[in-house]
Amino acid sequence: MKPELFLDAQNYKGIPLLLIDGDYSSQNAFRFQIGQTDQRIWIPKRHCDKTGHIKVDENIDYILRRSKRQLEHAGITWAIPGIKRQS
């Protein structure tokens, strides 16, 4: 039986992230949607609890830093300290 996933919107430094419903039992990461767009990123399970909620005070800047182009496609154009400059 898979755990109940936290599918509500979460914010990380002003970036809206939504967990995509699925079976993550054999995966090492959760897949998140950026806002209400088609852009998606994978966040390792070590940064989330078992329901997919991002842990408090967890630093996932390095994941979003690798996804700058996806953030731009999702409409995130403002500067985010530690992640990207304004575009």
87 residues of the chain, pLDDT tens digit each:
677 999 999 999 999 999 999 999 999 999 999 999 999 999 999 999 999 999 999 999 999 999 999 999 999 998 888 888 886
Structural domain count, the chain: 1
Q: Output Rg (C-alpha) for the chain, integer angstroms.
A: 13
82 lies in some domain: no
Q: Is residue 31 part of a domain?
A: yes
Which helix (H) or strand (E) segment holds residue 69: the answer is helix 68-73
Paired tokens of 66: 């690798």
Residue 84 lies in a domain: no
29 within a domain of the structure (yes/no): yes
Q: Residue 46, SS3? A: helix
3-class SS of residue 47: helix
Asked if residue 57 is part of any domain, the answer here is yes
Q: Which residue has the tokens 């630093």?
A: 59
In angstroms, the CA 13 to CA 23 distance is 27
Q: Is residue 83 assigned to a domain?
A: no
Domain holding 31, by residue range, is: 10-73
> Residue 80 domain-assigned?
no
> Does the residue 25 lie in any domain?
yes
